[in-house]
Structure 1
């Protein structure tokens, strides 16, 4: 920074193990990706190529090269993984990861039913070669998991070799961790945090109010995901207490 301010929270430095910002790329053009990185690369830790958008992107290798040159890892969205699994094409998915030289992979079951032992087996196998992010929670708003179920699933997936577990919220932020209105299921999240180290969880939190809640609950270095490209720097201001929502939150708490 060119200007020094006192009493700001200390942020972890890249390459971060926690305090992560995961950005959702829903089909950015190569130029759009370059523009995003020119402004925000210092604050982006990993990029998810949302859903199965990679299947349709015409110059995928070129865009992946742009992210790689910036030192930012990418991974295919969990829905893409599920699309291969439901068709019995796991070996094809493994070949895809190798073909595109991926280092990260997401394992999820938000759109299909996968027996949990089988899901953990996928995690265990993939973890031998890749950094695995496993997503817990359903995209179906009618499927409500009790807090103990979230905790048991997350613990099992971390035990199977997942690097981080992701709390499902969708791009809209109104399922899983959140009510239909976008309000955080506070009791659920607090129980999860009580049982699982916060640095092992990435919370999908696309809405500003959700980001504010997690930062106040966990701290400036909470892992947050599904962040829109144009919200990366605004999120960093919230993390530092330099936006009205958290303006006085870190005052007198940091040197």
Structure 2
């Protein structure tokens, strides 16, 4: 930090297991990645190349090398995994991870119907090769999953070998954990937390109001994801009580 303030909540240090910020790269150029890292690298824990953008992104290897040189792991979005699976190309997907020397992968079923046991099988297989993040929730806003099923799926996927489970919200924050307005499904989140440890969940929360809600509920070291590159520093100020939305939340608590 550039100067000292008292009553600032403690933040975990990198490499973190909680307090993670997962950033969504939706097609940044190599130069844009360099610019982002120049100011935000200390606050980025992992980067997702959104959905299947890696398929069409130019200079992909150079981009991955740029993140790697900053010590920041990258993984391809779960939709790409689904695109390979639905085409019966799972072995090709595994070879792709090796080709680009990726250490993380996302297993999801937000765009295709997949039996939970089959999904857990993919998690078990991939966890022998890489660190797996599994995503729970549908990208279809009309598909409402009851809380007990979220808990059952998250628990099973962690037991199958997932490092973290991701609560689906898409890049807009209007499905899954949230209503179409962006409002948090508060009862859903609170019920999940009765059974699944908060440090094992990454909550996709692209909107500022959603980030504020989770920080107020779970503290500065909540895991949040799908953060836009220009929202990384603002999110860190939310975590530290240095933005109006959380300004008084940590006073006399640090």
TM-score (norm 1): 0.99
Q: Deviations over 1:27-74 (max 9, x none)?
A: 000000000000000000000000100000111000000000000000
Q: Secondary structure at the match of 1:105?
A: strand
Partner in structure 2 of residue 141 of structure 1: 141
Q: Secondary structure at the match of 1:38?
A: helix
Q: Secondary structure at the match of 1:33?
A: helix
Q: Does 1:12 align with 2:12?
A: yes
Q: Does 1:169 align with 2:165?
A: no
Q: Secondary structure at the match of 1:48?
A: strand
1:65-104 aligned at under 5 Å gives the runs: 65-104=65-104
Q: Secondary structure at the match of 1:157?
A: helix
Partner in structure 2 of residue 130 of structure 1: 130
- 1:2 and 1:198 map into 2 onto residues whose CA distance is 30
Q: Deviations over 1:116-161 (max 9, x none)?
A: 1000000001011211000000000111011000000000000000
- 1:198 and 1:82 map into 2 onto residues whose CA distance is 26
RMSD of aligned residue pairs (Cα, Å): 0.4
Once the 2 structures are TM-superposed, how far is the Cα of residue 194 of structure 1 from its aligned partner? 1.4
- 1:84 and 1:175 map into 2 onto residues whose CA distance is 24
- 1:89 and 1:114 map into 2 onto residues whose CA distance is 15
- 1:219 and 1:186 map into 2 onto residues whose CA distance is 16
- 2:210 and 2:2 map into 1 onto residues whose CA distance is 29
- 1:41 and 1:67 map into 2 onto residues whose CA distance is 9
- 1:243 and 1:235 map into 2 onto residues whose CA distance is 9
Partner in structure 1 of residue 27 of structure 2: 27
Partner in structure 2 of residue 179 of structure 1: 179
Once the 2 structures are TM-superposed, how far is the Cα of residue 97 of structure 1 from its aligned partner? 0.3
- 1:244 and 1:121 map into 2 onto residues whose CA distance is 45
Q: Secondary structure at the match of 1:195?
A: coil
- 1:103 and 1:143 map into 2 onto residues whose CA distance is 32
TM-score (norm 2): 1.00
- 1:220 and 1:231 map into 2 onto residues whose CA distance is 16
Unaligned 5+ residue runs, structure 2?
none
- 2:142 and 2:57 map into 1 onto residues whose CA distance is 32
Q: Secondary structure at the match of 1:215?
A: helix
Q: Deviations over 1:138-189 (max 9, x none)?
A: 0001110110000000000000000000000000000000001000000000
- 2:192 and 2:134 map into 1 onto residues whose CA distance is 15
- 2:115 and 2:194 map into 1 onto residues whose CA distance is 26
- 1:115 and 1:183 map into 2 onto residues whose CA distance is 29
Q: Deviations over 1:182-218 (max 9, x none)?
A: 0000000001111110000000000000000000001
Q: Does 1:36 align with 2:33?
A: no
1:179-198 aligned at under 5 Å gives the runs: 179-198=179-198
Q: How many residues align?
A: 254
Partner in structure 1 of residue 106 of structure 2: 106
